[in-house]
Amino acid sequence: MTTHDERAQTPDVDRLARSMLELLGHDDEHDHPARDSAAPGSWSKAPDFAGDPHRAAAIREATARDRERYLTSGLVSVDCRFCHVTVQVKKLGPEQTSVQWSSGATQRCAVFSEIRATGGDPARARSCPKLTDSIRHAVAEGCLEEVSSAPPPGDG
């Protein structure tokens, strides 16, 4: 329970915020075009191009392409030679490998199934040693580059 003295010492947040804005020369009278074009209650800073449906469609399409490139650039399917699950792999260097597991592959992995059967959590395992061997084999066979030559997924 707060006392009268504690309430008197607690600043009025709204009053404090307004005084800071006034001190810095900001007020609510300015137009906020990016925010004004967004849906009411939205905090989006980017315009939604509601008045230009062709541009909005082009931006959605470009965004989808960028997302797909970012998520899949340089990934190669590798099958585990032990349990035959397929994962997506990209070698970023001799000691750095990116592996994307699907939920189905995680469930079917024999090593992960064994960990679950003993009451463990496969998410805590560094990797599947059988898959690691399969990735090394894919590199040795030339099916996977030692270091991916795919362009980075940034702008471009």
Residue 55 · residue 45 · CB < 8 Å: no
If asked whether residues 93 and 134 sit together in one domain, one would say: yes
Q: Is residue 147 part of a domain?
A: no
Average model confidence (pLDDT) for the chain? Answer: 81
pTM of the predicted structure, to 2 decimals: 0.58
The domain containing residue 118 runs over which residues? 75-140
Q: Is residue 146 part of a domain?
A: no
If asked whether residues 32 and 56 sit together in one domain, one would say: yes
- Using one digit for the tens of pLDDT, what is the confidence trace for 41-98? 566 677 778 888 999 899 889 888 888 887 788 899 999 999 999 999 999 888 889 9
